[in-house]
Structure 1
Amino acid sequence: MHQTLYGTEVVLRPPAPDDVPRLAAIRSTPEVRAIWRGGDDLVKAVTEDLADPDVTTLVVEHAGRVAGAVQWGEERDPDYRHANIDIYLDPAVHGRGLGTDTVRTLARHLITDLGHHRIVIDPAADNTVAIRCYTKAGFRPVGIMRAYERGPDGSWHDGLLMDLLASDLTEH
């Protein structure tokens, strides 16, 4: 079982089956659905026998309420070892610094407790709000990944690869 992590404003904890309806409601908001789509992973994230062993999902809580989720995975090859992060939050809590606190808290855990030297995150290239959030957490742009992901309309869209090194985390 994964441990609970404490940020300044958020608590990141393992998901429970009771979290699925609230997370599904957040994922169904137009702002979140436009990026995350789908939803089968919600059940998989909280059902042990269906969980993806390569992805760890944590519920983001703020003020005792479910505010979203954050996921991380890792490349285990020692010559390329690093971790990656994905996050979504309820639009009702956007603009409060919770995304930055969540990403910073998880990055600190991945670097300090799990020994990763590099973390990557890959927002849509036109997602200026997410890019600003990740920059505040210490991530830096690496480059544009052309035609990186398919959008809801079926067309391909660019992504921005960003990374954070262990030494960058200490600066923040």
Structure 2
Amino acid sequence: MLLEGELVRLRALEPEDAERIHAFVTDPEVGRWMENGHPLSLAQVRKRCEERAVNTYEKVVLGIEAKAERKLIGVIDLRDAEPEIGEAYLDVYIGDAEYRAGGGYGTEALRLLCRYGFNNMRLHQITLWVVAENEVARHVYRKIGFVEEGRHREAFVGLDGKRHDMILMSMLKGELKW
């Protein structure tokens, strides 16, 4: 599967993406707002990439590639999709700092995957959780049509051990702003 916009291409992840993904997830700026487990070695990330399950309705994981440079810059997914209720959860990160600062790469990737979820997967709702202090991400989510629905107090533990509130956001089919 390949989803393409003006700036990015969303594509299946390959085993050779392991080094880039390892660099992303070990970058403190990327990991700052991510729910991270224990640190992973490059060998462990390689193994995960090699053994990655096939994309299915329940979980679609795609690499975000800068189209002009054909360079992996992040990862986006729709997970826990349930056809009975037409809902899935979205996760995204731009791991390459060069593409993180307002160039529109993350925004376009979100729009492409949300459109795919609504049109191809026949989802009715896409939901996500974001750390309350991550205002940059919240701004992008609102810009493309997500609305804030609630707050889960002190539900996220940062890398420094400090607790933060999480914001629940969702978008219904027909609310995607292009």
> Under a length normalisation based on structure 1, what TM-score does the superposition of the two structures give?
0.86
Equivalence map 1:63-78=2 (5 Å): 63=68, 64-76=70-82, 78=84
Contact in 2 for aligned 1:44/1:50 (Cα 8 Å): no
**For residue 50 of structure 2, what is the amino acid of its counterpart?**
T
1:98-132 C-alpha deviation (Å, 9 max, x unpaired): 11101110000000001001001111011000001
Q: Which runs of 5+ in 1 are unaligned?
A: none
Which SS does the other structure have where 2:60 is aligned? strand
Counterpart of 1:81, as a letter, is G
Which structure 2 residue ranges, 5 or more long, are not aligned?
Answer: none
In the alignment, which residue of structure 1 is the partner of 2:129? 122
Task: State whether residues 10 and 101 of structure 1, in contact with CA within 8 Å, keep that contact through their aligned partners in structure 2.
Answer: yes
Q: Deviation per CA, 1:69-102: give whole Å up to 9, x if none.
A: 1122134262x43011111112221110111101
Contact 1:12–1:60 (Cα < 8 Å) also in 2: yes
In 2: Cα distance, 1:87 partner to 1:49 partner: 17
The 5 A counterparts of 1:19-168 are 19-36=17-34, 37-38=36-37, 40=40, 42-43=45-46, 46-48=49-51, 54-62=58-66, 63=68, 64-76=70-82, 78=84, 80-89=85-94, 90-94=96-100, 95-168=102-175
Number of aligned residue pairs: 168
CA shift, 1:4, in A, is: 1.2
Letter in 2 for 1:127: N
Query: Where does residue 10 of structure 1 map in the other structure?
Result: 8
After superposition, the CA RMSD in angstroms is 2.3
Structure 2 residue matching 1:149: 3-state secondary structure:
strand
Q: What SS is found at the alignment partner of 2:31?
A: helix
Residue type of the alignment partner of 2:78: W
Which of the two has greater helix per residue?
Answer: 1
CA distance in 1, matches of 2:47, 2:170: 27
Identity %: 30
Counterpart Cα distance in 2 of 1:42 and 1:60: 17
